[in-house]
């Protein structure tokens, strides 16, 4: 199974990513092992969704990183930290 996830920190910054191991990925973000989230945590998962294939999760990631996707995040899930 593959997961799309959205993280948010205390400054309300968000990060969108995908993985096949959600627990390990969150650990790596919070332990400064990820280039884009290093020294910006702690991070909390505010959204995740599972998919059967990498292709499906990549399509969802592309949408969430688009203007319409970021608008959807703002209206539906941001600030759940």
pLDDT of the chain along its 81 residues, tens only?
A: 999 999 999 999 999 999 999 999 999 999 999 999 999 999 999 999 999 999 999 999 999 999 999 999 999 886 654
Q: What is the pLDDT at residue 49?
A: 97
Rounded CA-CA distance 9/46 in Å is: 10
Surface-to-core class of residue 46, CB atoms within 10 Å of its CB (0-12 exposed, 13-18 middle, 19+ buried):
middle
Evaluate whether residue 63 is within a structural domain. Answer: yes
pTM for the full predicted model: 0.90
Q: How many domains does the chain have?
A: 1
Residue 81 domain-assigned? no
CATH number assigned to the domain comprising residue 66: 3.40.1440.10
Residue 78, pLDDT score: 65
The confidence score (pLDDT) of residue 80 equals 56
């Amino acid at each position: 199974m593959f997961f799309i996830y959205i993280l948010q920190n205390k400054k309300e910054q968000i990060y969108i990513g995908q993985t096949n191991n959600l627990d390990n990925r969150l650990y790596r973000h919070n332990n400064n092992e990820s280039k884009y989230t290093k020294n910006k945590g702690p991070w909390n998962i505010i959204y995740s969704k599972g998919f059967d294939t990498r292709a499906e999760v990549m399509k969802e990631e592309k949408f969430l990183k688009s203007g319409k996707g970021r608008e959807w995040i703002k209206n539906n899930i941001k600030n759940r930290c």
